[in-house]
Amino acid sequence: MSNNRSSRYKDKIFQGMGITATFSCILILAIFLGFIIYQGIERLSWDFMVSLPSRFADQSGIYTAWIGTLWVLVLTTVISFPIGVGAGIYLEEYGKKNKLSTFLEINIANLAGVPSIIYGLLGLEVFVRLAKMGNSILAGSLTLSLLILPIIIVSTREALRAVPKTIKDASFAMGASKWQTIWKQVLPASFGGILTGVILAISRAVGETAPLIVVGALAYVPFAPTGPFDEFTVLPIQIFNWVSRPQHEFVINAAAAIIVLLSITFVMNGIAVYLRNRWQKKVSW
Amino acid sequence: MQAEAKNPKATRDKTEPKLNPDNKDFKLQAKNVDVFYGDFQAIDNISLDVVDNSITAFIGPSGCGKSTFLRLFNRMNDYIDGFRMNGEILLNKKNIYDESIKVEELRKKVGMVFQKPNPFPKSIFDNVAYGLRIQGIKDKDFIEERVIKSLKNATLYSEVKDDLNKQALSLSGGQQQRLCIARALAVKPSVILMDEPTSALDPISTAKIEELIHELKKKYTIVIVTHNMQQAGRISDNTAFLYMGRLIEYGDTQKIFTNPEKDRTQNYITGRFG
Amino acid sequence: MKLKEKIIEKLLAACALLTILTTIGIILILLVEAIGFFQEVSIVDFLTDTQWTPLFSQKSYGILPLLSGTFLTTFIAIAVALPVGLTIAIYLNEYAPKRFKMVLKPLLEVLAVVPTVVYGFFALMIVTPFLKNFIPELSGFNALSPGIVMGIMIIPFVSSLSEDALSSVPNSLRQASFGMGSTKFQTAFRVMVPAASSGIIVSAILAISRAIGETMIVAIAAGHQPRLTLDPTIPIETITAYIVQVSMGDVPYGTLAYKTIFAAGITLFVFTFILNNISYWIRTKYQEKYE
């Protein structure tokens, strides 16, 4: 009897712990976000968005930073989207169950776990130095593309896998070739899932700081880049730079910039989640 | 009709079954075919000729190899790991497993309808037009004419003509299967293979499709795998009974069902096993 | 047409092979520069010296201070993330009603998408001042604050992976346990967690690997003073923060100081590589259990 009571007691306690843990996390997140908004919302203005950074906090703006982020976003997407999806298609549709494909899978799983700063070191040696791209947007975008490639590959494979085999059978039975089947049936059917994966990956790239610092994105860039070979900075690095300054005004700037960065991040993730829900409804074979 | 030899080894000989002695040319033939998946032998030395413009049914218990055998005719087994075959499958006297044969061309002449209706997640029109478009045909009028004709031949047109752009997946099961038939017809094959085409459908849809198949045999050579013996008895002209990868008996459907040669056939027909 | 098919297949294969090239590239650059480093610094010194001062006039090249900084922050992070993450996973899977779970899970995911530089800001600007109320001698840069914030960041990681592991245990086991009169607590801890143990262990290992490789939170809030210590209240430096520190400055290519970031990098890579492979091995070896 007493065993029963103590068991039920433990049960209740744990349930309490679970609820507390879950809500604490959400509460902490709310506190963090609230603090940011409180600190930074007033600093947000059109002026802030179009001013160049300066030594004076109240004149500093994020213009060069978000232009740089935009450049990096577009370039990284252009590079990583076709390569990542292409690799995913190859592994899922053309791969045979042999040692090579297992090795490729293990390798991709490994790459996904490599710290992002190591990718920065790779980019520094290969793109900045060996390929002589310098501390350019191109070098940074290539580095980030390598970083997010495993993410895109894995999510592409999942989306492709969800297409039922019967659709492929029907297409083959009609005399379509492998690529025709992929291009006309498999890709259109899995496109929602693929797009979701790519948006999430790009959103991750937008928030990355360390690899770009190593590749030489500068902390103080008083001009907006005009081409892929220009030097640049991005929002996260600008934030990092301001946070590292002792003056309180720069902290306010950092908070305002964080609001901008978080807005971009949340919007992208929101779009991805929306797409995923719509796509999953469609895939009700 | 000449009497079949009572020799139990008859089906292992190379002589063609004397079903239609006046028609010397068969579109579709199998000669001494074995099929292996790895070490497992799925088909053991089957030879048969499919009579043109008729309905040939393959029957037999589960796992006897009838689907495997059917899929030899459009080389859909090629995608399975470890598949090997000996012997020949002839379409218009040419061995379709010859290296010079392009599989995609073959499948335009030999169409297939599957057990579970598998329309593409596209519109009704795009489903039927698919086979034409992958051949590179771009003429819109030609495609439209062919699509409508195929839908009519599949007795589906009257039910969908108001909106051909409707999603195929919104049709009922029976309609989807007729759509799949229309899709196969659109490329004008000479042979249509059907792998248990009504087993996933309700009785009314089944009846409609059986009627359709009966109409189709006027223009096409049809081979149908079915586990439903009554269906085989209803619609087919000739029936092949397969058991454990071997052809036990092949002949006129009525004869097979009323007076089979082999005991095993008799036992299967009367439901003693399978 | 056959030619077009072949070309397309080769192009796609090239995309896939790029992943192998990436790995080779990483290993090569780390090795080449590290070998260059070890030609000037003895590996014994590297592994045993208790000072790391490559940028000062008095140069020492002992990795231990950076290692201790990394492990101190990682330890704190895991001490936060593992119990909390696991508790949340068990709660959501075994206790929470479905509607709760459907709302709470995405909210937790938000924690996972916040960029790490923002977490660094939180650590420096919110958590450190907050902790100072309880630990007055806490210095402005320390290991405790970023450690805790890293832990918070990793919680959704642990809870999501553990939750996947728990949900893949067949419901029949749960039913059997309830059928014998067990409470949810007993079912969770005596049946479900042991059954999902391989997945949970994998989530723990991956969490550790994640914490070891984390850069911005520690670069902002932990300081840049490498020292061999277990004291979480004073500034330290992690391997990752050191690399950032050097990259922010002007260290010319080819100098020993430049090579130090690769010596640090290869150390980091070795640890995360081993951890990731152990987790992959566990995942593949124990996954077939419930197929």
Angle between helix A99-113 and helix C256-287 axes, rounded to 10 deg: 120
Which helix (H) or strand (E) segment holds residue B113: the answer is: strand B110-113
- Planar angle of CA B239, B240, B241, nearest 5 degrees: 120
Residue C51 lies in a domain: no
Report the length, in residues, of chain B. Answer: 274
Residue with tokens 């080819």: C254
Q: Which residues 227-246 of C have a C-beta within 8 angstroms of A?
A: 240, 243-244
CATH of the domain at C129: 1.10.3720.10
Residue A60 in contact with residue A226, Cβ under 8 Å?
no
Lowest mean pLDDT among A55-59, B126-130, C18-22, C263-267: A55-59
Determine whether domain A47-282 maps to CATH 1.10.3720.10: yes
Residue C136 in contact with residue C233, Cβ under 8 Å?
no
Q: Are residues C202 and C270 in the same domain?
A: yes
Q: Are residues C11 and C109 in the same domain?
A: no
Q: Are residues C194 and C228 in the same domain?
A: yes
Record: contact B119-A170, CB cut-off 8 A: yes
Residue C52 lies in a domain: no
Residue B3 has what pLDDT? 43
Q: Which residues 169-188 of C have a C-beta within 8 angstroms of A?
A: 182-186, 188
Q: Are residues C68 and C36 in the same domain?
A: no
Residue C55 lies in a domain: no
Task: Write out the residue range of the structural domain in which residue C146 sits.
Answer: 64-290
Name residue C93's amino acid. N
- Give domain limits for chain A: 2-40, 47-282
Interstrand relation of B55-59 and B94-95 (parallel, antiparallel or unpaired): unpaired
Residue A158, SS3 per DSSP: helix
Which helix (H) or strand (E) segment holds residue A278: the answer is: helix A248-282
Residue C73 lies in a domain: yes
Residue C95 lies in a domain: yes
Question: What are the backbone dihedrals phi and psi of residue C150, each rounded to the nearest 5 degrees, phi first?
Answer: -60, -40
Q: Are residues C244 and C125 in the same domain?
A: yes
Residue C264 has what pLDDT? 94
Residue B150 in contact with residue B183, Cβ under 8 Å?
yes
DSSP sequence for C120-189: HHHIIIIIHHHHHTT-TT--SS-SHHHHHHHHHHHHHHHHHHHHHHHHTS-HHHHHHHHHTT--HHHIII
CB-nearest to A167 from B105, B120, B131 is B120
Domains of chain B: 27-269 (3.40.50.300)
Q: Are residues C170 and C280 in the same domain?
A: yes
Q: Are residues C140 and C20 in the same domain?
A: no
Record: contact A213-C247, CB cut-off 8 A: yes
Interstrand relation of B83-91 and B28-37 (parallel, antiparallel or unpaired): antiparallel
State the sign of the Cα–Cα–Cα–Cα dihedral A63, A66, A70, A76.
positive
Q: A202 contacts in C (CB within 8 Å)? A: none
Question: What are the backbone dihedrals phi and psi of residue C117, each rounded to the nearest 5 degrees, phi first?
Answer: -65, -30
Tens of each residue's pLDDT in chain B, 274 residues: 344 444 444 444 444 344 444 545 688 999 999 999 989 999 999 999 998 999 999 999 988 899 999 999 999 988 888 899 999 999 988 999 988 888 888 998 999 999 989 999 889 999 999 999 988 889 999 999 999 999 999 999 999 999 999 999 999 999 999 999 999 999 999 999 999 999 999 999 999 999 999 999 999 999 999 988 889 999 999 999 999 999 999 999 999 988 888 888 888 888 877 6
Q: Are residues C103 and C213 in the same domain?
A: yes
Lowest mean pLDDT among A180-194, B10-24, C151-165, C185-199: B10-24
Q: Which of B59, B109, B60, B18 has its CA nearest to residue B224?
A: B59
How many angstroms separate the first and last alpha carbons of chain C?
A: 41
Give CA–CA dist C56/C60, Å, rounded: 9
Residue C50 lies in a domain: no
Give CA–CA dist B231/A151, Å, rounded: 51
Residue C54 lies in a domain: no
Residue B274 has what pLDDT? 62
Percent of chain A with pLDDT strictly greater than 90: 64
Residue B239 in contact with residue B248, Cβ under 8 Å?
no
Residue A282 has what pLDDT? 65
Q: B111 contacts in A (CB within 8 Å)? A: 173-174
Lowest mean pLDDT among A62-76, A160-174, B218-232, C46-60: C46-60
Give CA–CA dist C279/B121, Å, rounded: 39
pLDDT at A68 over 50: yes
Q: Are residues C9 and C77 in the same domain?
A: no
Calculate the dihedral angle through the C-alpha atoms of B52, B57, B63, B68, rounding to the nearest 10 degrees: 20
Strand partners, B241: B59, B249
Q: Hey, how many other C-beta atoms are within 10 angstroms of the C-beta on C66?
A: 26
DSSP sequence for C19-34: HHHHHHHHHHHHHHHH
CA distance C285 to chain A (A): 13
Residue with tokens 């030395």: B45
Tally of domains in chain C: 2
Q: Are residues C147 and C256 in the same domain?
A: yes
CA distance A181 to chain B (A): 9
